[in-house]
Structure 1
Amino acid sequence: MKKQISTIISIILVIVIAIFALMNFESVEVNFGFTSLKVPLVLLIFISLLIGALIIFLFSSTQNVKKNRQYKQLETDSQEKQDQLNSEIDELNHNLKVLETRLKNSSGKQEVGNRDQQISDLEDEIAKLTDKLSSQK
């Protein structure tokens, strides 16, 4: 919608400038400082308009080039950040796996320790019962 409005305004301006130029056909003297020329006013208006449009185009082009450079730099920075975050995620996943393995090993050792304790308790009970049996005979 915004482009359509600017296009319509541009067309209206071109028509107004063309009508203004066509109403001024007489020749005028243009002094450039070192020389003077007699030129039709219509031609002078169109040349001035083209020079102004060219200047605007050059300024807008330089702004676009600067914006494109900034955009590319931001893309590069963003990609570097994403790569850094991905490597940190990979490192955290690796650390998580290591910790899970250690947890499994430690819980396995605890179970083995508990079973060893139960076995030694049972051996103690067997020894007590054996002593009771031998004392009853």
Structure 2
Amino acid sequence: MLKNIDPLLSPDLLMVLRSMGHGDDIAIVDANFPAAAMARRLVRLDGLTATDVTNAILSVMPLDDFVLEAAWRMEVVGDTQAEQPIFDEFRAIIARHEGSNFRLASLERFAFYEQAKSAYAIVSTGERRLYGNIILKKGVVRDR
């Protein structure tokens, strides 16, 4: 056990997060996502929700504030303006850890797949809610 580290952050996930550099992406995806086929590096957290994993990751990883967008969700197929309840949960998690300056952008399904394929890693969760997918861009840790 470690102090002040969310216990959901497995040793493999901590290694990935620590290895990532500024501007690298990490995708946190639901149980339906084809993660194994797409991942350069795959971390499996099958028993956890995407929102719990996102919350744990953002407890230790800053979002990139050098770019216009640093967090993306997948658009609902056939209705790009549709909202799913999980989107508001992602927004609340981002606001809790990073403040209200960051917005949750959206990507069309296949554009989301392409960005996930190029991500440093994909974290496959047991999330069963549809569209429970998010990509986060790592920022920098500044001296205090």
**Bin of the TM-score, shorter chain as denominator length:** under 0.3
Task: Please state which structure has a larger fraction of its residues in strand.
Answer: 2
Greater radius of gyration (CA)? 1
- More helix per residue: 1 or 2? 1
Relative contact order, higher structure (CA 8 A, sep 6+) = 2
TM-score (norm 1): 0.18
Normalised to the residue count of structure 2, the TM-score between the two structures is 0.18
